[in-house]
Structure 1
Amino acid sequence: MDANFKRKTIHRSISLLLRDIDQMSMSEIGTSNPALNCDDTATASNSTHRLEHSRGHNLASCEDGDDRGVGGAGGGGVEGGGGGGGNHDASLACYSIRSEPEEYDENLDAPDSVTYLSIGGNNPVLVIREGDADSVAPASEIPYSYVYNTPVKFDSMRRHIFIPGLEINVEIIDNERSLTSHVLNPNLYTVKLTHGPFSWTIQKRYNHFRNLHQQLTTYRTSLHIPFPTKSHKERRDSFRNMHTVHQTTASPAMQQKLGKPMKKIKKSALPRFPLKPDSLVTFDAIPQRIKQLEEYLYNLLNISLYRNFHGTINFLEVSHISFIAALGEKGKEGLIKKRTGSTRSGQSGCNFCGCLAGGCCIRCSYFCTDVLWSKWRNRWFFVKETCFGYYRPKDGVLRCVVLFDQGFDVSSGMYSTGMRNGVQIATNSRYLVIKYPTRRTAKEWMTHLKRVANESARDFTLPNPHQSFAPSRPGVQAGWFVDGAGYMSAVADALEGATEEIFITDWMLSPEIYMKRPAIDGDYWRLDKILKRKAEQGIKIFVLLFKELDFALGINSYYSKQRLVEQHENIKVLRHPDHAKAGILFWAHHEKLVIVDQTYAFVGGIDLCYGRWDDYQHRLTDLGSISSSTASSANNTTTRKPSTVVELDENGSVANLLKSSKNIAIATAMDRQTTTHRYDQSAVDGSAASGMKRLKQKFMQKVPDEAGGAGDPPDKLLIAAAQALGSGVAGADQQPPEERDSLPENIKQNTPEMERRNIMGKIKEMGRDLRNRITLSDAQEPPYGSDALSPNGGGTGSGAKSNVSSPGYLSEEERRKQQMYGASDGGILSPQPFKNAVVFELDGQAKLWIGKDYINFIIKDFTNLDMPYADLVDRTTTVRMPWHDVATVVLGQAARDVARHFIERWNAVKLEKCRDNANYPYLLPKSYNDIRIDSKFLNVPLHHVTCQVLRSASSWNCGFIEPDHVEQSIHEAYVQTISKAQHYVYIENQFFISLELGNSVVKNQISEYLFKRIVRAHREKKVFRVYVVMPLLPGFEGDVGGATGISLRAITHWNYASISSLRTNSTLNGLPVTELIYVHSKLLIADDKVVICGSANINDRSLLGKRDSEVCVMITDESFEEGRMNGESYPCGIFAGKLRKFLFREHLGLLEPDPKRTSIDVTDPVIHSFWNDIWRRTSRRNTLIYDEVFRCIPSDNVQSFAMLKKFLEDKSLLQSNPEGIQQAISRIEGNLVDLPLKFLCNEILTPPGTSKEGIMPTYMWT
C-alpha cells in the first residue's frame, strides 16, 4: 500500500510539472545557484540577486538582437544592488508583453553545474566553470583505440562522443519549402555542423527541433525528481554536484576580495526555442526563423549537459565513432530498423521448408518474410569511407561491419524490399534489409550510400587490375627479406613499436618462437612474450589460425591458441574452419601476414613457427659452443688456463651439473674414448656470494681445460635448467640406491658412486649460505633427459622431453600455473610435474634453434608441440633442414589493403563462430587518407614502388554469400606477368604443379604461359631465360622408397617441371654431412622490374581461389638504376633488381668475400656468359660432387625403386676414401644444384588406393 501511494504521488508530481513546465514562475527561474553561497559576501541579499536575474531574463525575452553575446548595458552584477529605474521600467514593460502568447520557450535554464551571471548587459549568460568538459584544453583528436572501449548503451550519460574542448558550430545552409506535402512543417532545413576538423549535414524539420526541445525540457525537469532508481539517483547526484566551486568562477568583486586574479571564463547564451510553428511563418520571415533555429541549436550545444543528452546526440546523428580521425570522415549515421535474419541472402523469414524457395509472387514472399515471421530491431546505422555497419543501441555493441566491394548494390521500393520506405543493401558477403520512417529518409540514405560507393570507396567497388579486390597503389614504400632471420627481427621490431592494434594470421604459429637470435636477452624477444608485453600496454591483438584436422597435421593450433589467450585478455585468437560444420576437409588458410596499426604489413611465405628462422649460411648443425671431441681428436686440444666444463653424453644430456643463480662449476672425469661435447666457460662472473667463490676455487683447480680452439669472445647468455638436470647431481645422495640405479640411460654417469656422494657432501657444506637461491629437487623419479645449454631451456638430447622456464626466478603467478598445469613456463604441459627451475648464467655462444625449432621435416614431422623445449631429433646425430624463404613489407595504403583482407576474414569468422560474443569484436578498417608513417619505424631499406595486393579467396574462407564467387587475382597476375616479360622470369616456389592446356587434373595455366612465352621468343629469335628454383624433395616426413613415403611420392608425382634446387653441407661429429635446403619461397621476378611475393604456391590449391586462401603483393618498381640485359644497357628496378641480385649471390655462394670468385658479375641475368658459364655450370658441378661424395637422393641415377635400393647399397666416396673427400667438397661453390628430372621416372608414384593418401581425391595433391 505504501509503495503504491509513493508511486502515485510521483506520477502526479510529474504530470503537474509537465503541465506547468511552460509557465514556470519567475522566482523559480531566478533562484540563486547555491554554488555561489560559499562566501558570506556572496550570500547577502538573495532577493537582490533574484531581482537582477529576473530583469536580465525578461529583457532577454524582449530582445530581438543577437542573443549569443553578452547584451547591452544596464544589467546588475551578482553581488550588486538593485538596478536603476530605467531597467525596472523595462522589466515592467516586458511583463506587459508576456501577457500575450510567448514567442520563445526559455525553460532550459541554467543547470546546477553552471552559474548565472549578468555582466554588463540585459541577457543572462551561462558561465561554465573551469574543469567542466567545455573548459578543458582542446584535444587534437580522439584516439583510434577508443573503438575498443567497453560498449556503453546509447541512452547513457557516460558516453563520450565529442572532442574535448572543441565547440560545435551550426549553420543552416539550405531550406526546402513544401506546403502541399507537409502542411504543418513545410520547411526542410539543411543544417551544417562543424566540430573541429569534421563537418557534416543533417536535414531536419521544425517538428524535429520541437521534439528535441521537449525531450530536453522533460529531462531537465526529471533531474529534480527523486525517482527511486539507482541510475536516476546517480544522474541527479552528478547533475547537482557536477563540480566543486572554484574561485575562478566567482565574480571579479569576489575574486578581488579573495585576492585571486580572475581567469578567462567561457560564456554561452541560454537556448531560446521559437514557439511559433513553421506553418505560421511567412515566406518573408524564413530568414529570421533560420537565424532563430541556428542560435537555439548553437547555444544548446555549448552546454555540455544538453549536448551529451542522448536525444541531442541522436538529433545530431553522431556516435562515439563519429570523430575518430583514423576512421576518416564522419559519414552518415542514424537510427534505423533492420529486419532480423537478413544477414545473408535467403536466411530471412520462413519459406515453408523450402517450398517457396523456387519462387513465388513478390507480395506472398514478403507477406511471409516481413509480416508473419520477421522482426524489426532498432539499430544505429553508420556509413564510413570504405565500410558501413550498425550498433545495437540497448548495449552499444557493434553488431555488424560490412566492407564495400565490387558486389555492392543498393535498391529501394516495393519490388526490392516489399516496402515503400525500405532499402536493400547487398555486397559479396552480406545482405541487409532496412526500414526507414519515411520515403524521404530512405531515399536520402540510398543516395548517400551510392555517393560513398562512387567516391571514397570506388577503389573497392569498381573493377581493378587482375580482378583483385584492391587497386594498384602508387608511391608505396616497400622492402624485402631473404630468409627468416631478417624477417623475424623486423617483425619483432614492428610488434614492439605497435601503438594501437596487431593482426597476425599464419598457417602455423609457435608461441615460443624466438624472433631475434641468439637469445642473449633471455625470452624478451620470444613471440608470446612480445605479444603479452604489448597487450599489457593496451594494444589489441587479433590472431587468425588455421584449424587443422588433427589426424592429418600435427601443427596443434589449439595449443597455440591456448598459449596466447592465457597471456592477456587483449589477445584474441580465432581458429577456422570448423571442418565438419563448414564441410571443408581438404583446404587450408595459408596466408602469412603480420599487420601493425594497419600501417605496416608483412607479406610473404614465412610462418612465425618452428623451423623457419634461418639466414644465408643455412647451417646444418647447432650445438651451441659445444665442441665435438672424438678419439682421434681428443689429443689435439691446446692447454689453456683452467675453466669450467659442462660434460654431455652422446645424446646431448648433461651428466653432472651444480645449480646456481650466477655460476656453474662442474668437476667430472671425462671419458676420452667416447664422443663427448663440452661447454667452455672461459670467464666466470665474480659477483656471486662468498660460499660459491670458495666452491669455485676448490673445483676449478680440479677441472682441466679440454675445450681448445680460439675464436671470437663468447657472448653471455641466460640459460634455464629443469629439474631433470639435478637428477644425477643435486639430491643424488638423498635417493635410495634403487632409485639411483633407475636413472635414464641417456644420463651419462662417468663419476663413480662414492665420488658423486663426496662431491655433494662438500657442496652442501659450503653452499649453506646460498640455500635460498639454490633449488634442489626431491622428485621420486627423475624426468626425461633435458638440456641446460639452450637459452631459456632449449633441449638438445633426443630424449629431452621435460620443460624449462624462462630466465629469471619464478613469480608467484608462474608457480601457481605450474601447480595448476603440472608444467613450467605458464602452462606448457610436461610428462611430470615441474617443481623447480633455476636460472644459470654462462659465457658462450647460444643455440640458434631451441627445442622443437631444430627440425628436419623429412626425418621427423612435428609432434608434441606442447613441449616446445624438447628436441624432435637428436641434434648430435641428425642435421637440421635449412629453410630458404622470401618475404616483403609494405607501408601506407598497401598495408591498409592487406589489413582490409584480414578484417574481412576476421569479421566473417566472427559472424560464423562467435556472433554474440562481445569479447571478440568486429574490426573496422582505417581511413586511406592522412596515413601517418614513421620512416624510422623499421630498420629496413625501403624503396618507392607501385603495389597491388592479390589474393585467392572464396566463400568458405572470406564469407562470400555466393558459393560460386571466387577471386583468383594471384593466378591472373602470374600469367599476365609471364606473358609480358621481355627478358627473363625467375621463379622460386615450394611447388611447381602445372601441366599443359586441357589437362583434366591440373587447372592452373602457369606452365602453359611459360611454354607460350618461350615459343614466342624462339620464333622472334630473341633471348629469353626462365629460372626456376624449388626444393629437391617435398617437405613431408617419410622414406622415399619405403612405406612411410607415400605422401612424399604423391607430391613428387606432380612436381616435375623445374630446373634448379639448393643443397648444402657441413660437418657433424667430425664427418661431412649434407642436406637439401628446403625452398619455401613463393616468388616471381620478371625483368628486374616486377615482383610477386606472398604465400601462394604454384599449384591449383593456391591459385584457383576455391581452395586454399592466399595473399600476395605485386610490386612494380618506380625507381631505377643502370643495369644490363643481354649485354645492353637497361633500366634496372631498384627493388626487384637488388632482390634478384642478392638471391643469385646467395645461391652461387658470393655473399662472403672470396678472392677467387670476385670476377663473377650477376648484373646481367640474360647474357650467355652468365647463364651457361656461371649459373648452369655451377649447378651441374655441385650436383656431380654431391653425387660422388654423398650419393644423395634424389638423383638422375635412380629411375626405379630397384635402382634406388642398389644405389643406397653402393659405397660413396665418403665411405671408400674418407681422406680425399675434403678436396672434393672444397670444390663446391654455393648451394645451387640440378633437380634430377629422371628420378624414379620409371615408377608410378600415385599413391595406392589402399593407403590413406590414396583415399584422398587427386585434386587435394595438386
Structure 2
Amino acid sequence: MTGEEEQEHGGHRYVRMPPEPPEPEGLAAASSASFRLPESVRVFDELPRARIVQVSRPDAGDITPMLLSYTIEVHYKQFRWLLYKKASQVLYLHFALKRRAFLEEFHEKQEQVKEWLQNLGIGEHVPVVHDDDEADDVHVPSQHDENSVKNRNVPSSAVLPVIRPALGRQQSISDRAKAAMQEYLNHFLGNLDIVNSREVCKFLEVSLLSFLPEYGPKLKEDYVTARHLPKIEMDSKERYCSSCCFSFCSSSWQKVWAVLKPGFLALLQDPFDPKLLDIIIFDVSPCTDRDGDDQTTLAKEIKERNPLHFGFEIYILLYKEVSLALKINSMYSKRRLLNIHENVKVLRYPDHFSTGIYLWSHHEKIVVVDNQVCYIGGLDLCFGRYDSPEHKVVDFPPSTWPGKDYYNPRESEPNSWEDTMKDELDRTKYPRMPWHDVQCALYGPACRDVARHFVQRWNYAKRNKAPNEQAIPLLMPHHHMVIPHYMGTGKETNGVMESKQNLDKDIKFNRLNSLTTPASCQDIPLLLPHEPDHHIFASGDFGLNGMNITNGLSDHANKSNWNQQPVSNRKAKQDLSLQDLQMKGFVDNIGSPEVSVSKHYSTSNPNMQHIDKEWWEAQERGDQVASVLDVGEVGPRAACRCQVVRSVGPWSAGTAQIEGSIHNAYFSLIEKAEHFVYIENQFFISGLSGDDTIKNRVLEALYRRILRAEKEKRRFRVIIVIPLLPGFQGGIDDGGAASVRAIMHWQYRTICRGPNSILKNLYDVVGSKADDYISFYGLRAHGRSDDGGPLVTNQIYVHSKLMIIDDRMALIGSANINDRSLLGSRDSEIGIIIEDKEVVSSIMDGRPWEAGKFSLSLRLSLWAEHLGLLPGEVSCIMDPVDDSAYKNIWMATAKENTVIYHQVFSCVPNDHIHSRYQFRQSFAHRKEKIGHTTIDLGVALENLETQQEGDLACAKPMERLQDVRGHIVCFPLEFMCQEDLRPFFSESEYYTSPQVFH
C-alpha cells in the first residue's frame, strides 16, 4: 500500500468523500511525483492574490479554533470570487501539501540513489559513462534543486497560528485569526507550482474552465455526485473506496467536478480535464446593459419562440369535481394554468348547483393539436400516472417518482396537491401502486372529429356557465367542421355560412387559430343534432330486453363513415393525400359524421405552413419502423381506418338526444369477432338480457358469441384483464371502504356470482369448458422498499380501456365497461375504432392469418410486458388462440405467478379468503409476525416456512420470487365469496344511488 493510500485510509477525516476522480492520461505521473504540471494543463499561469475578508464562528461561547470560518476573496486577472472555508479545511489542505512534498522529495532521493547504484554497476542496467560535472550533479543535488524542494514545501510552523486556541474578545480573536490565515495563504500562493497542484486548485475551487473569458465570470465549483451519466471507467485503485457509508460507491452514483457559469452547469470528470461529460443550460435573471437596453437572454429567446407568443391559443376543459367526494382540486389546476400565459383559456364544468349534476363526470382524456394530431385513450394528465413497462413498486431514494407522483390511493389519497414535491407516503414502508394505461396517437382527418367534439362541449359549457365572461370565448368551428345535420335549420345554416364568409374577409387580426376562432354568442352554432323525422334502428337483432342499442341516434348516423389516417403511439409524418373513406357494414348505426378539414393558417404568419410541412416531413415514416415483433412502449405508425365514437347526452354536450356509440361499437365488434377478444379495462360491470339493473349489454354480446362458438365447435377466446381491487382508499374490512366493496359486488355479480353472471350461465350450458372460452386476470409487481428493507408487493392498477379483435381491429378510448361510461346519459366519454389497412403475415388458430400491423403490434407489446418475455420470445405468442400460447404460456404463467405471490406474501385479494372474518385473522397474523404490513397485506416475511418431505424448512422469499415471470396473475374469483359486499344501512353509501357504483 502506497503512502497516498495509507493517508486516504488512515484517519476518519479522509472518509468524508470518495477517492478523487482519475487524472487525465499523461497527467497522473506528473502530479503524483511533482507539483510541476505541463503548461497545457495548468490552471494558473500567474500567481493569484487572496485576502481574508472576514472571520466568524458559529457560537460565541465555543472557543474551538477549528470552528472558525473564513471568508476569502481571491483575485486572478480580471476574475474575482469568494471562498468560505473553515479552519479544519485549511488543516486538511496543509496535510495534503505536506504529504505531496514528502512524496516528491522521497521520489527525487529514490531516483538519485537508483542512478548512483547504476553508475556503480549494481543496478539492472549497464553503467553509463558520465563526466565529472555530470557525476557530481548526480551524487550531490545542486543548490537550485535544494531551494526548489524547500520552496515547494510549506513549513508546519506556518499553520500553527491558524490552530492556536481562540481565546479573548471577539474582535481580538478575529484580528489574530485573520492575520494567521493571511500569513499561511501567502506561503503557497507565492509558488506557482504549489498553486497549480490538485490540492490547492480544489481548495480554491478552480478548474481549466474557470478562467476562459468566453464563459463569463468565475462562480461556484466543487465535486458533486451524479447518477444520470454513463459509467466513467476507472482503474481498480480509483474504484476502491475505504468508506462503506457512501452508497454511490456500489451504485450508479459517480463523483464529478461541477462548474457553475452564467447560463450553464458543466460536469467534468476531472478539474484538469476540459472534456465535458454533460452540460445543463438554464438562464439567469434578465438584466440591462449600461445604456439601459435589455440584453438578450435565453429565457427571453425561448419566450419569443413560444407559440403562445405568436397568437397560438390553448383551450383546456377541466372536470369540475364535487369537492366532498373528490380531492383533485381542479381550481388549483385552473389557477396554475392561467398563470402560464394570457392565451391559455381554462373552463371547468359542470356547475353542479345550477345544472343539478352531482353524480356524473366528464371522463374524456384528449389532446388535439391544430386539428391534425390528437391523443386519445385512458391516460389522465395528472400525478401518479407516469410509469414504465417494469412497473416498479418502490422508488427510494426518490429518482423517478418524486413527491406526489409516488402514488398509492389504496393507502392514502393526498389531501392537497399544492405542495407537489412533498411525499404523501413513507417510501420505506409503503409501495407505490404501479399504473398500466394505453394512449393512442392519431394523425389525419379523424382528429377534426375529436376537435369538433371538443368545440361542441366547450361551447355548451360556455353558454351554461359563463355566457357573459369575455375571458372565456366561444369557439367558431370551421365551416367544414360543421356537418349539415348539426347545422340545424336552413335559415340557421345560411346565417352561419354568411358569418364564416365575413370572418374570412376580416381575418386581419394577428392570431393563428389553433383549434378554432373565438366568436360571439350570436355567431356560433350550437352544434346540436337536429331532431330526425324518424328513428333509425340497427339492422341486426340489437334490441335486447326491450332496449334499442342505437339509443335514438339520428338519421345521419345510418351511414358508417370512416376516416383513413395513420395511427400510432409516436409522432409520424402525416400523409396529406389520404382521403376520407366510407366503410359500410362494420359498426352499424354509429354516428360519426364524415367531415373534411384543411389546415388553417393566419395571414400574420405566412411562413408557418412551410415550417409545419417541414416538421411533418422530418418525422419518422411508417416504412422505417421495425418488425411488429420489436415490442416496446411505443408502437409503429400504421395507416388505418378510424371512426370516432362517444358517450354524450343533454347534460354533457347539449345534444338533443343521448348518443351511446361506444356501447354500440363494443356490441358490434364482439359480434363480428372470428377468433378472440382481448379486453383491458378499469371496470367490468355489465348485464345479460333480462337484467333490469345493469343496462349495458357488453356481457350479453360476449355470452352470445361464446354460445355461437360452442354451437359451431370452434375455438374462441375471451381474455379480460382488470384491476385486482378498485383503486380507492380503504382496506377490504375498513369502515370507510364501503365504496370499494360496492364496486367489488357489481364486478363479481357480472363475472361469477348470481344468476346474472356470465360464468354461472356458461357453466349451465357448456360446463367446465367455460374456462376455455373466457378467463379473467390482473397484474401484480414486487420489489424491495430500500436497501435491506422488506420485500413488498402491490397490484398494478389496470386503467387502460381497450379491446382488440382478431389482431385486426381495436377500440381505444376513455370509456369503462359499466353503465356510467356506456349509456351516454351519465359520464361523457370518447373513443376511436381502428381497423388496420396494412396487414402482416401471422397465425391464428394454427392457420395462416393476415393480421393488422397496428392491432397485432399493440397486442404483442402488451402480452410481452405482462408475460415478461424477452425480445426473442415474442414469436411464441403470435397465435393467441392456440393452446401453445393461450394455455401453456398465458394461463400457465398467470397460475404460477399467483401461487408464488400467495406463498411469499399471502396478499389480498386471493382465493383463500372467503369472508371479512378470515381477512381480519390473516391481517392480525401477518402484523403480529412482521410488525407492519400494507392495507392489502403486501409485506413479505423474512423467511418462508415450507414443507419438504414432511420436515419444516425455511427459504428466502427472494429466491421464490425469482421464478415470477412478468406481471400477469389470475383474478381471484372466490375472494369474499361468503360476503354480501353491498353497503349496509349504517354506511353513508347505503343512501347513495347504486348507479354511482355501476
Q: Which has the larger radius of gyration?
A: 1
